[in-house]
A and B are shown apart, each in its own frame.
Chain A
Amino acid sequence: MTAQEVRLCGLLLREHFGEVVEKVGTQLLRSGAQNLRTIIHETGLSVDLVKKSLMVLVQHGACLFSSGRKGPGSPTEYRSGCDRILRILRYPRYIYTAKTLYGDTGELIIEELLQRGHMTMSGTVKTVADRLTQNMEEGRSMDYSEVSSAFSKLVETHFLQRCPPLAGAGTADSTNPAPGATPATPSTPAAPPTPESFPDCYKVPHMTLVGRGKRQLTAEDGEDQRNAKRQKMDPEAHGDEGIYWQVNFERFHLHFRDQAIISAVANKLDQTSSEIVRTMLRMSEVTTSPAATCTKPLSANEIFRSLPASYNIPRPILDQYLTLLVDDPMEFVGKAGESGGGMYVVNLHRALANLARATLESVVQERFGSRSARIFRLLLRKRHLEQKQVEDFAMIPAKEAKDMLYTLLSQNLVQLQEIPKTPDYAPSRTFYLYTVNQLPTARMLLQNCYKTVANLIERRLFESKESKRLLEKSQRIEAILASLQASGAEPEQLTEVEEMITAPEKQQLDGLRLHINKLDSAENQVDETIFRLESDVNSTATS
């Protein structure tokens, strides 16, 4: 939990959950596992507010609780992790992916689940059906069964998973003890069980839910309250109480990784090779574990049979493409044997490492120029080089090469390795070699990315705060315009209201919107870099 990560998590919590949750969250992140009393003491907030914030954090999976370290009698401890909160940056990408794969219904299901944290299937289906019905024309409404089938499809492809039921957790209230989990023994604190350790993780419950989405009518206040009360009074049981669902981020990350590999192949080679790689990845979706170094070997015959119908390339051409892919220095595809016309694998970890390396090289190129990038690539390839050798291999005059090397060294992108000739490390008798270590450099750049996003968010908040009055005024005027249009006003009234904003104010507003949009898109783009670097760092850590 670095300082930059904690700062970024605090800003994300503030934007999405409010300042109270931000305080509680940063307290948990900074000081590790604590019990309720410590949190209340350290943050100085009221008991109710702290309890509510903790509930919000647990609901969204950002905080886990377990019985205390001293045994079952000690108060429950809460702990939080940066990873889950940093995922908030990637929510738009998850929603967009669901839209491309499963249409508007899938998009809304994922959006609802991301907004609410954990939800039952019946609750999600109802809310999504209502939302879809809102946007349809008059008289048409969305059937619950369509939404349920989209939900089931998401569960089948593992994009959604059940929340792990609690195994005790210090209270006597858990009604779903997990069949496969071991309860925490007093002496050893059990690690929090992953959702996948439960056998029912991806089983869709049998649910009785029949109906159509309801359109929200603008009723009068009195009627509305009576209806609302009646709805709350009789909650319908649909047969899936107590089963909560959450979004499976790991599965989305695997999908993003596959997309990145396919687009890299398309950029480096051509469209047909990327289709071949896409086919190979699709075939090994279910057989490959998430942490695998490479996919299971696939024979060329199988690949030939599974190619999409639109790509009817003859068999020898496919063999040539496969050979090309294997010989490519990026090493996306490797050959694992000769049986079945050749067994081929996709090297996942190596592909991720190469993608991260490409990211590092482009960072150096954009920051320091193409000649510094040449030196950087040279050092990545040749590992250790002396000053003189760098000048010779890079074909750059000595003085400039020296300057560039020192700039890179001062930015910590290049390291100096000393190799002594004598045991007393005398400077005149020591080799000084320049080197680049990819993994520490990637980690350092990852922290820089977190700092970048935190700065972008702070700047955006600053800009909105500066023009808060103007923004509020424009919102009020929009609300007035909307209500006038709904009640059918004449055009003169509308123009009169629009003129309440003067021209320079309009310019200021437009400029402000442009800045805020730019900052937001920049955050999205930096998050893509974060994803690439993170997947490489995580895959190298596990392998």
Chain B
Amino acid sequence: MAARGRSRRTLSFSVDSVGINRGESLPPTLQQPTPVFPVMEQKPLPLTGGEEAEYLLALKQDFRGAMRSLPCFIQPAAALRDVERYSDKYHSSEHTDGLMDWTPDWQRFPRELRIHVKKPARDGVSVTRSDAQLAQKKKKKKVREKEEVLLKLETLQKKEEQQSEEDDDNAEQKKKQEDDDADGEEEYDEEEFEEVILYVTCDGSNQSMWTGSGLTKGSVLQETDYIMSYFDNGEDFGGDSDDNMDEAIY
């Protein structure tokens, strides 16, 4: 430390043993990082060609292409664009069909990785037990709500009818009538109930019912009456090459 500033000519290593002779200067110090693509003194060897290398190349490219179409290739949902569009509702669920092709053996995976299918079951295979229960619960809830609404309407109707009847019926008769009405209500409600159930099951399994009748697949999957090209917003038009602009785009 004491000798630091005194003599600048001595270096930290002995000059002789490393091989620098007198009169030679050290190479200039580096002032910036080395270039990213330095010039190569020797050209690299060419690749080994041959039948085997070509076959391996073809195998590699085929494998890559095949992996893209398998269900294990997970595409994220398309990036949201600046403004929400009505057609997004129908376009966004087109991609997820590929994932349902793969039915994993759930016993080989930890329980926490199970995914619940959100769409109503098309065919009962790819839905696990818990999913089927969820679907049934949802159906029951729907049915119960509808039932409650219908019950309310019925009771209101009955009340109006009862008020319009004679008021000097005694309590028992009233009660009887009420019981009868209640029974009638129940019967009526059961019929309503059945109708409601039919209505709900029609909704839930519409795909399986309507598939054979020749409706196009896209519309049935997305539960609309229009084919999917109805929802093209025309933003893809004109995105093709603008080279050779001899003709105008109308």
Q: Is B241 on the interface with A (CB-CB < 8 A)? A: yes
With A59-B104, A369-B42, A520-B60 as given contacts, are A16 and B112 in contact (CB-CB < 8 Å)? no
Complex contact B67–A16 (CB within 8 A)? yes
Which residue of A has the minimal Cβ distance to B112? Answer: A36
Complex contact A387–B56 (CB within 8 A)? no
Complex contact B76–A170 (CB within 8 A)? no
Complex contact B108–A166 (CB within 8 A)? yes
Chain B residues, CB < 8 A from A216: none
Q: Is B70 on the interface with A (CB-CB < 8 A)? A: yes
Chain B residues, CB < 8 A from A48: 115
Complex contact B17–A387 (CB within 8 A)? yes
Complex contact A76–B63 (CB within 8 A)? no
Chain B residues, CB < 8 A from A521: 47, 53, 56-57
Complex contact B19–A398 (CB within 8 A)? yes
Complex contact A367–B42 (CB within 8 A)? yes
Q: Is B12 on the interface with A (CB-CB < 8 A)? A: yes
Chain A residues, CB < 8 A from B52: 96
Complex contact A233–B47 (CB within 8 A)? no
| Contact pick for A55, options B41, B44, B109, CB 8 Å | B109
**B231: min CB distance to chain A, Å:** 20
With A55-B113, A222-B212, A521-B47 as given contacts, are A20 and B12 in contact (CB-CB < 8 Å)? no
Q: Is A174 on the interface with B (CB-CB < 8 A)? A: yes
| Binary flags per residue of B4-26, CB closer than 8 Å to A gives 1, else 0 | 00000000111011110000000
**B44: min CB distance to chain A, Å:** 7
**B16: min CB distance to chain A, Å:** 8
Which residue of B has the minimal Cβ distance to A78? Answer: B110
Q: Is B45 on the interface with A (CB-CB < 8 A)? A: yes
Residues 88-125 (chain B) with a chain A CB within 8 angstroms? 99, 104-115, 123-125
Q: Is B176 on the interface with A (CB-CB < 8 A)? A: no
**A284: min CB distance to chain B, Å:** 26
With A52-B74, A524-B57 as given contacts, are A226 and B110 in contact (CB-CB < 8 Å)? no
Complex contact A91–B104 (CB within 8 A)? no
| Binary flags per residue of A22-51, CB closer than 8 Å to B gives 1, else 0 | 000000000000001000000001001101
Q: Is A305 on the interface with B (CB-CB < 8 A)? A: no
Q: Is A53 on the interface with B (CB-CB < 8 A)? A: yes
With A51-B115, A524-B56 as given contacts, are A366 and B73 in contact (CB-CB < 8 Å)? no
| Contact pick for A387, options B19, B42, B44, B73, CB 8 Å | B19
Q: Is B227 on the interface with A (CB-CB < 8 A)? A: no
**B92: min CB distance to chain A, Å:** 13
Which residue of B has the minimal Cβ distance to A21? Answer: B74
| Contact pick for A229, options B113, B123, B240, CB 8 Å | B123
Chain A residues, CB < 8 A from B104: 55, 59
Q: Is A171 on the interface with B (CB-CB < 8 A)? A: yes
| Contact pick for B64, options A16, A173, A367, A469, CB 8 Å | A16
Bound Cα distance A96, B55 (Å): 8
With A96-B59, A244-B108, A366-B45 as given contacts, are A51 and B113 in contact (CB-CB < 8 Å)? yes
Chain A residues, CB < 8 A from B124: 233
Bound Cα distance A392, B44 (Å): 30
Residues 208-230 (chain B) with a chain A CB within 8 angstroms? 208, 211-212, 214, 217
Complex contact B123–A233 (CB within 8 A)? yes
Chain B residues, CB < 8 A from A222: 211-212, 214
Chain A residues, CB < 8 A from B53: 521, 524-525
Bound Cα distance A225, B18 (Å): 81
How many A-B pairs have beta carbons closer than 8 Å: the answer is 158
**B84: min CB distance to chain A, Å:** 18
Bound Cα distance A45, B77 (Å): 11
Q: Is A331 on the interface with B (CB-CB < 8 A)? A: no
Q: Is B66 on the interface with A (CB-CB < 8 A)? A: yes
Complex contact B72–A17 (CB within 8 A)? yes
Bound Cα distance A54, B112 (Å): 11
Complex contact A169–B42 (CB within 8 A)? no
| Contact pick for A17, options B13, B67, B108, CB 8 Å | B67
Complex contact B45–A173 (CB within 8 A)? no
Chain B residues, CB < 8 A from A49: 74, 76
Most A Cβ at <10 Å: residue of B14, B48, B113, B123? B113
| Binary flags per residue of B114-147, CB closer than 8 Å to A gives 1, else 0 | 1100000001111000000000000000000000
Bound Cα distance A163, B108 (Å): 10
Which residue of B has the minimal Cβ distance to A523? Answer: B60
With A52-B74, A96-B55, A232-B125 as given contacts, are A173 and B112 in contact (CB-CB < 8 Å)? no
Complex contact B111–A59 (CB within 8 A)? no
Bound Cα distance A387, B211 (Å): 84
**B201: min CB distance to chain A, Å:** 17
Q: Is A326 on the interface with B (CB-CB < 8 A)? A: no
**A333: min CB distance to chain B, Å:** 27
| Binary flags per residue of A424-440, CB closer than 8 Å to B gives 1, else 0 | 00011011100000000
**A362: min CB distance to chain B, Å:** 9
Chain B residues, CB < 8 A from A96: 52, 55-56, 59
| Contact pick for A520, options B61, B67, B114, CB 8 Å | B61
| Contact pick for A20, options B45, B76, B109, CB 8 Å | B76
Bound Cα distance A166, B109 (Å): 9
Q: Is A113 on the interface with B (CB-CB < 8 A)? A: no
**B91: min CB distance to chain A, Å:** 18
Residues 424-471 (chain A) with a chain B CB within 8 angstroms? 427-428, 430-432, 469
**A56: min CB distance to chain B, Å:** 4
Most A Cβ at <10 Å: residue of B47, B109, B114? B109
Complex contact A432–B61 (CB within 8 A)? no
Bound Cα distance A233, B124 (Å): 8
**B139: min CB distance to chain A, Å:** 21
**A107: min CB distance to chain B, Å:** 9
Chain B residues, CB < 8 A from A225: 211, 217
Further contacts, 20 of them, CB under 8 A, given A114-B63, A428-B16: A20-B75, A58-B113, A59-B72, A60-B72, A91-B59, A92-B56, A115-B66, A118-B108, A163-B108, A166-B108, A225-B211, A366-B42, A369-B42, A427-B14, A428-B14, A517-B57, A521-B53, A521-B57, A522-B47, A524-B56
Query: Hey, which bits of chain B sit against chain A, CB under 8 A?
Result: 12-14, 16-19, 41-42, 44-45, 47-48, 52-53, 55-57, 59-61, 63-64, 66-67, 70, 72-76, 99, 104-115, 123-126, 208, 211-212, 214, 217, 240-241, 244
21 contacts between A and B (CB under 8 A): A16-B67, A17-B74, A20-B74, A49-B74, A51-B114, A55-B113, A56-B74, A58-B108, A65-B110, A92-B59, A118-B108, A171-B110, A171-B111, A232-B123, A232-B125, A232-B126, A233-B124, A368-B41, A388-B19, A521-B53, A525-B47
Query: Hey, which bits of chain A sit against chain B, CB under 8 A?
Result: 15-21, 36, 45, 48-49, 51-56, 58-60, 65, 75-76, 91-93, 95-96, 111, 114-118, 163, 166, 169-171, 173-175, 221-222, 225-226, 229, 232-233, 235, 242, 244, 366-369, 386-388, 398, 402, 427-428, 430-432, 469, 473, 502, 517-518, 520-525
